A and B are shown apart, each in its own frame.
Chain A
Amino acid sequence: MTHASRRFLHPEAIARIARLELRARAVVEGVLAGLHKSPYKGQSVEFLQHREYVRGDDLRRVDWKVWGRQDRLYVKEFEEETNLRLALLVDGSASMDYRSGALSKYDYAATLAASLAWLALSHGDAAGCAVFDDKVRASVPARTKRSQLASVVEVLEAPRGGRTTAFLPVLRGLAETLPRRGLVVVISDLLGDREGVFQGLQLLRKRGHDIVLLHVMDDDELDFPFDGPTKFEGLEIPDHLACNPRALREGYLAAVGEFLAEARRRAASAACDYSLIRTGEPVDAALVKFLSRRASMAV
């Protein structure tokens, strides 16, 4: 693990790359160098199998050579025929601004999103992006054009309001506006309207979208390593708490554990592909892990 992690770009290194596009490029190049193969194929011409012709099949896909030899109509099926439509939904609420290391949760989420967009676009797939909190603050529809990555990055780097999260209205609106079925990747810390998250995800799922939920949490939020008298001030909740963190750690970790378990359980019930990602983890490593998992699911 230690040896492998050296291949990945640590968040500190990524943070030093100022431009998000360059960050995404760095991440994806590392991923490609490591994987050699991407599970996302564009317009594919690779033959998969023959099947008997049925009414309604496109006559252009009838294999006439087989008809000539066997006097029976077969159509050729290929591995992929249509372009992937990738929709990246990135939580831009105030809670995503917490950082314990070089990257805030939002920075980490944006890097992930840009990297996925880069991958999709590099394979000819369409990629779109939206940043939201209580509503969609910036978005770009899915396109395959060459300048699309720049548009995605522009959306991700757009100024954010630092507001609370309202998942349900945002996801409902996106479900109505997304034109075709596609892959929807939601990147969020899921803090805020927790019930709304899963209701919105279910809406998207009902629309036939393949849902991926990337749950980004800071290391501090998972480990709670604080010591000494500390005054915690809520980023989204207008509340504060002065306490000895050591004394509350046990209860806090228990609550976080319940939260993560519930998220995993609700995501599974909504047929979402759930992944917990720590901001202390190298971005490319997280990306590789995610892609590997997706590839194994596709087989």
Chain B
Amino acid sequence: MPTFDFLPLLWWGLPLVAAPIVIHLINLLRHRRVPWAAMEFLLASQKKYRTRVLLKQLLLLALRVAAILGIVLAMAQPRWTAAIGQLLGGGRSAHVVLLDDSYSMGERSAAGGGEAATAFDRGLAVVGRICGELATTRGRQEVAVGRFSRLIPPKDSMPPADGGVVPPAGSEGAAGRLDVSRQTVTPEGVQRIRDSLAAMKPSASDAGPLGALAAAAELFGDGGGSKATQVLWVVSDFRAAQWDSADDTVAILRQLATEGTEVRFVDCAADGAAGEGSTGNLTIERLAMVGGVPAAGVVVPLEVSVRNDGARPVRDVTVDLREDGVGRPAARIPEIPAGESALQRFDVRFQKSGSHVIEARLPADILPADDARSLVVDVVDRVDVLLIDGALADATPGAASRAGDAFYLAAALAPGAGAPTGLQPRTEPPRALATLDLKAFDAVWVLDVERLDAPEVTALETYAREGGGVVFFVGPRTKPDVVNRTLHREGAGLFPIPIAGMVDLLPDVAEQRPDVVVEEHPVVAVLAGQRNPLLDAVRVDRYAAVERGWEPAPEAGLRRLLSLRNGAALMVERSYGAGIVAAVLTTASPTWNNWSRGNPSWVVVMLELESHLARGRRQAESLDVGDPVAVMLDPSVDGIEVDFLVPPDGTVIHQAARPAAAGKMEARLDATNPGAYAVRWRRTDGIERERLFAVNVDPDEGHLARSGREGLEKVLAGVPFTYENAASIDPGARAQNGVSLVTPLLAMLLGILLLEQLVAWSSSYHPATRRGAAA
């Protein structure tokens, strides 16, 4: 059965087919009158040729009607669909339109002034045109429209964002996440679809095509068994970050193509050479604490990182900063080279404990979504640090001893009121590890412990595995075999290295080299570089030597912070679970060295080490758009009614917490907007609680480099697809409805016109030219 890409043209053009007949009838009424003498010859001719003349006239009329019909048909762009497909599918075409609404689609056109200022606007226009075209296409045309961000499968069966009635788990498939549910397109329905599209805005998510394509595959699979022509439209900006390395995406597309689905890509990005990314977009890719202790009254260093995706360097970039909604001095970045990032540090001193919001914002550019970033810093009155001093092994818990290593460490972490660090060391004997709630401490320092019992080791390992920081100092009490057996356990335990024994560092009489050598590590970065007189003054007499010939496994991730001049390790660290474990292979007290005896570098390195160890725990929780904002509630002390305040205008979404694991209750909301989310609930004792979450866009989505046709052809090798630009898309120029009949129709039309000319010429009078007559 033929179908038509421009069916309205056919309806409008069909009446023209009657034009030759009408003209013929009009001509019959408009005879020219000629008085004629030689009537007898005329009558004789008419008598002789009556039948032939009539047939010739009818043939001429038919040819002219056929010619006009051919022109009208050619303009309507007919195509032939397989008869079997028509029989099975009833001429049905199923279109799934996937609209990329990741925030990069908010890129404003550099040209400006157009009717579609952003890529998303152009995408909406394309979807509207597709639906409009389908409404006028012959046959049953079904369409479903979904956005990338909505078609991502839910992470679990938690409540929906609107906090409404919770559907049964698994009841909402891809069909339930569509913006325009699958429906037969009618001219009346097109306006409804367009109205629903008009309200859409690009999301703040970095949703890629994978989830949406999986949903499309599911939708095509739910086609009801009837064989329909399947067309997948992907309306996107085709950023290289999402398409250039997408194996799963390619697999789904290949599967769809194998199943006969026609894949059509419509590029909505602003015109420009694909892959250049020369649009001059600046992105705040990071806003974070960089060390320090988030305690009230303590200077906290923060860092903002700005990436320049443009083709030219950018100078004098001003980053506006706000602290809890109040402006503060801006950070200024002198220059950001093209394609690179630049860091700028700034200090913040929070006067009160509690959650504080730091916001950074760039002047608006072509992609505003990635020009802002927020950070929530939970400031406490003090930060507890646990010092386990082996010297107190036999002492009463809580009774600190000035003579132990803990004294020197406590002096470094909390020098006094004149230099507030926000840290509050607490010295305990080893057995306290099994009794204390270690989660209350930022870090645990284990100082020259003779031995740790299994419960203590287990508690310490659990603490480290969950993100805590642990530091070991060795000393006279330390037994290498005990350490190796209980703490190292051939790499499975906490202690990073096996100890062979305690050895003296022989004096370097000849060269007078410093005993301590600084390695490349953030903790000691402040001491790196030129010779440091403070560190040069450190003398190490004895240390714990590593077993000869021992080499750490590459996967262990062992890093050296400090070394001795003989090449032996002095300070090492490795990751353990989510936490960090460090080992200092000498004493904290001046027993085996003189480092803690009045050397300022001792204080600096210990504070840096403390910040480094506690980084995982202090790191303010930063969520990406699309992540769930969740609070775990204890039903014994917390109420279950929770309010989510959604940025930017603080819209309140009410939700009842649902049972979660371990007898807890959980309230969660998928973050859809960037900014600071507030979660409020009331405890059973009436006290109102609030927790802030910073939700930010994924800065990688701000990479505007495009994949383009060439990139897609490279990535999607073997997957048949069409690639069109939104400005030049012709929804009617599709091949999904069969083979185009335009070319054969035009050939037939040419034949008809030639035949018509031949018949007309044979039926008309052609006077001989003057030259011919003369001849």
**Which chain A residues have a beta carbon within 8 Å of chain B's beta carbons?**
1-2, 94-98, 105, 189, 191, 218, 221, 223-237, 239, 241-252, 254-256, 259
CA A256 to CA B41, docked complex, whole Å: 6
Partner of A189 from the list B37, B39, B49, B767 (CB cut-off 8 Å) is B37
Q: Are A230 and B45 in contact (CB under 8 A)?
A: no
Q: Are B28 and A191 in contact (CB under 8 A)?
A: no
> Is B36 part of the binding interface, using a Cβ–Cβ cutoff of 8 Å?
yes
Partner of B49 from the list A237, A242, A250 (CB cut-off 8 Å) is A250
CA A69 to CA B567, docked complex, whole Å: 176
Q: Are A247 and B38 in contact (CB under 8 A)?
A: no
Partner of A233 from the list B33, B45, B763, B765 (CB cut-off 8 Å) is B33
B interface: dominant SS: helix
> Is B511 part of the binding interface, using a Cβ–Cβ cutoff of 8 Å?
no
Q: Are B40 and A230 in contact (CB under 8 A)?
A: no
Considering the complex of A and B, which 3 residue pairs feature the smallest CB-CB distances, nearest first? A251-B45, A95-B37, A255-B41
Q: Are B34 and A252 in contact (CB under 8 A)?
A: no
Q: Which of B215-261 contact A (CB under 8 A)?
A: none
Q: A224, A232, A241 — which one has the most chain B CB atoms within 10 A of its CB?
A: A232
> Is B57 part of the binding interface, using a Cβ–Cβ cutoff of 8 Å?
yes
Provide the residues of chain B in CB contact with A239, threshold 8 Å: 39, 43
* Residue in A closest to B774 when the chains form the complex, CB atoms: A1
If A224-B765, A255-B41 touch, whether A247 touches B49 (CB-CB below 8 Å) is yes
CA A272 to CA B56, docked complex, whole Å: 43
- The 0/1 profile, CB within 8 Å of A marked 1, for residues 17-45 of chain B is 00000000001101111111111111111
Q: Are B39 and A241 in contact (CB under 8 A)?
A: yes
> Is B198 part of the binding interface, using a Cβ–Cβ cutoff of 8 Å?
no
A interface: dominant SS: mixed
Q: Are A244 and B765 in contact (CB under 8 A)?
A: no
Provide the residues of chain A in CB contact with B764, threshold 8 Å: 227, 246
Q: Are B35 and A235 in contact (CB under 8 A)?
A: yes
Provide the residues of chain B in CB contact with A233, threshold 8 Å: 33-36
Q: Are B765 and A226 in contact (CB under 8 A)?
A: yes
Classify chain B: how many residues form its interface, as a range.
20 to 34
**Which chain B residues have a beta carbon within 8 Å of chain A's beta carbons?**
27-28, 30-46, 48-49, 52-53, 56-57, 763-765, 767, 774
Q: B37, B46, B49 — which one has the most chain A CB atoms within 10 A of its CB?
A: B37
CA A235 to CA B33, docked complex, whole Å: 12
A195 to chain B, nearest CB (A): 13
Provide the residues of chain B in CB contact with A245, threshold 8 Å: 765
Provide the residues of chain B in CB contact with A226, threshold 8 Å: 34, 765
CA A81 to CA B457, docked complex, whole Å: 168
CA A209 to CA B62, docked complex, whole Å: 60
If A229-B32, A247-B49, A248-B49 touch, whether A234 touches B57 (CB-CB below 8 Å) is no
CA A9 to CA B120, docked complex, whole Å: 84
Q: B38, B39, B52, B56 — which one has the most chain A CB atoms within 10 A of its CB?
A: B38
B525 to chain A, nearest CB (A): 101
Partner of A230 from the list B32, B48, B52 (CB cut-off 8 Å) is B32
If A223-B767, A248-B45, A254-B45 touch, whether A237 touches B30 (CB-CB below 8 Å) is no
Provide the residues of chain A in CB contact with B34, threshold 8 Å: 226, 230-233
Q: Are B37 and A235 in contact (CB under 8 A)?
A: yes
B201 to chain A, nearest CB (A): 66
Given contacts A236-B37, A248-B49, 7 further A-B contacts (CB under 8 A): A97-B37, A98-B36, A225-B767, A230-B31, A233-B33, A247-B53, A255-B45
If A225-B767, A229-B30 touch, whether A2 touches B774 (CB-CB below 8 Å) is yes
B774 to chain A, nearest CB (A): 6
* Residue in B closest to A242 when the chains form the complex, CB atoms: B31
* Residue in A closest to B27 when the chains form the complex, CB atoms: A229
Partner of B765 from the list A218, A225, A251 (CB cut-off 8 Å) is A225
Provide the residues of chain A in CB contact with B42, threshold 8 Å: 232, 241, 243, 248, 252
Q: Are A247 and B57 in contact (CB under 8 A)?
A: yes
Q: Are B36 and A232 in contact (CB under 8 A)?
A: yes
CA A235 to CA B38, docked complex, whole Å: 8
If A1-B774, A256-B41 touch, whether A244 touches B36 (CB-CB below 8 Å) is no
Q: Are B27 and A228 in contact (CB under 8 A)?
A: yes
Q: Are B774 and A237 in contact (CB under 8 A)?
A: no
If A2-B774, A232-B39 touch, whether A243 touches B32 (CB-CB below 8 Å) is no
Provide the residues of chain A in CB contact with B49, threshold 8 Å: 247-248, 250-251
Q: Are B765 and A252 in contact (CB under 8 A)?
A: no
Provide the residues of chain A in CB contact with B57, threshold 8 Å: 244, 247
Provide the residues of chain B in CB contact with A96, threshold 8 Å: 37
If A248-B53, A251-B49 touch, whether A191 touches B774 (CB-CB below 8 Å) is no
* Residue in B closest to A239 when the chains form the complex, CB atoms: B39
Partner of A231 from the list B33, B44, B46, B774 (CB cut-off 8 Å) is B33
Q: Are A248 and B37 in contact (CB under 8 A)?
A: no
Q: Are A244 and B53 in contact (CB under 8 A)?
A: yes
Provide the residues of chain B in CB contact with A250, threshold 8 Å: 45, 49
B57 to chain A, nearest CB (A): 7
CA A1 to CA B773, docked complex, whole Å: 11
A193 to chain B, nearest CB (A): 12
Provide the residues of chain B in CB contact with A229, threshold 8 Å: 27-28, 30-32
Provide the residues of chain B in CB contact with A252, threshold 8 Å: 38, 41-42, 44-45
Provide the residues of chain B in CB contact with A251, threshold 8 Å: 44-46, 48-49
Provide the residues of chain B in CB contact with A255, threshold 8 Å: 40-41, 44-45
CA A191 to CA B43, docked complex, whole Å: 14
CA A244 to CA B608, docked complex, whole Å: 108
